[in-house]
Amino acid sequence: MGKVHLEDNETKEKKTEFSLVRVKGTWKRKLTNKVKKDTGDCVSPAKIYESITEQGTSWTVVSPIVFTYKVMETQDLLDPINDTLLLGHITDKQQLEDVKKSNKPIKRFVVVDQEVYKIYGPRLTEYMEANNVVYKILALPTTEENKSMEMALKILEEVNKFSLDRRTEPIIAIGGGVCMDIVGLAASLYRRRTPYIRVPTTLLSYIDASVGAKTGVNFANCKNKLGAYIPPTAVFLDLSFIQTVPRRHISNGLAEMLKMALMKHRGLFELLENHGCMLLDTKFQADNSVFGHSSSQVASQATRIAITTMLEELAPNLWEDDLNRLVDFGHVISPALEMKVLPSLLHGEAVNIDMSYMVYVSKESGLLTEEEKQRIISCMVGLKLPVWHEACTMELIQRSLQDRLKHSGGLVRMPLPVGLGQADIFNTTSCEILQTAYEKWCDELSISSDSNCGH
């Protein structure tokens, strides 16, 4: 009787898989095994699974979401004859032709960092006027201290007054990572998702914030606690913007570039080790008077490797479903450190201090040799990055690791270098190793470091 009872239980639930087929302007569900794919019918990748039990009916919807976005190098983005800023995001050839033939004026809402606007405002205005664009330019102080929901709402109020088409008129963000994060979040909220375009104007945002899907603002004194994963429709990369960035901010961006080098690409590390000073001096521009064409070649090579390795890590994991992320190197302790001493440390500087300590953890764990450790620290110093900070106490480190446990599924998931250009994720680094690494880190680097970063 027991066996019959089990079989009877199993038959009480009836599961059916349905596909969705477009029929005369509407969608109809059809049994998946009855759908013929060669009939020309439009079949959605979504499916509905219906389950009927004695308690009632339940439906499970599986609806794949595919995001397509372009990360595109360009030159002279604000030259009026370059239509990339206005049309470069359109991938459908027919749509592009239709827009070019249309008499309807192009309409764009632009949010620009106010410091960037001081430099490029006249050129941006001239660009819009020359192309007969109906536009609104909103210049804002997009700093880490102002990275708040209030600023996102301020943007949304202005967007609402301007009245955008939420499908065909993307919001444009021009500035650093903070600007692009805030605008991205605002766009994701307006009409549930309005497309937006990123134009990075700092080195840090050029190789880091611009290429992923994250948006966000600070909340409850925590970095990026509110946000969404909504990629831009396009990213336009113009290295010429970097020439007006202060030297300290070039170093700031080099920290994220060094992160990708240490995690994934020995060749990039050696480029930074050998040519980092030149990149700082030339601000990633061609400088024929001093370095010849090699400066622009190295700049192009370094940025492309950094972006490619970043995309390799981000593209399969845009929503961070997998919490084992090599790109988190330098981001275990730095968020708490950055918020604690705001605004004295820039983001990349805080990241580098985190990486510097973790290099010592790797050495004490037997993952790096003393020579490799010294080469990495020397490279950091050569890039004019801080390698130690008095506010990065053992207490702050331990608190950061505890927070990491809470937000990473009960595991620390600590990315550590295991050589130059190679890394792995570790969950069981002992307290003794962390303490020993901290003591050696302080002993060797605190004397020569300036807690104000020497700027």
Cis before 232? omega within 30: no
Ramachandran quadrant class, 192 (left: phi over 0; alpha: psi -120 to 50; beta: rest) = left
214 is catalytic: yes
The token duo for 313 is: 């890590």
Largest distance between two CA atoms of the chain: 93
Which residues, other chains included, contact 65 with Cβ-Cβ below 8 Å and sequence gap of 6+? none
Pure H helices in 168-320: 177-189, 203-204, 247-264, 266-282, 294-314
Q: What is the CA radius of gyration of the chain?
A: 26
User: 144-167 in b/e burial notation, b at 16+ Cβ within 10 A?
Assistant: beebeeebbebbbeebeebebeee
Residue 54: HSE in the Cβ half-sphere, 13 Å Cα cutoff? 5
Q: Single out the catalytic residue among 147, 214, 259, 384.
A: 214
Nearest-angstrom CA–CA distance, 141 and 149: 14
Where in 122-165 does DSSP place strands (E)?
134-140
At 333, the amino acid letter reads I
At 72, the amino acid letter reads M
Nearest-angstrom CA–CA distance, 172 and 150: 19
Which residues, other chains included, contact 190 with Cβ-Cβ below 8 Å and sequence gap of 6+? 156, 159, 160, 164, 166, 171
Q: Which residues pair with 23 in a beta bridge?
A: 26
Which residues, other chains included, contact 62 with Cβ-Cβ below 8 Å and sequence gap of 6+? 46, 47, 48, 49
Matching residue, tokens 């009245």:
163
Closest CA to 357 of 409, 275, 415, 273: 415
Closest CA to 440 of 364, 353, 337: 364
Counts of helices then strands in the chain (DSSP H, E): 15, 14
List, by residue number, the catalytic residues. 214
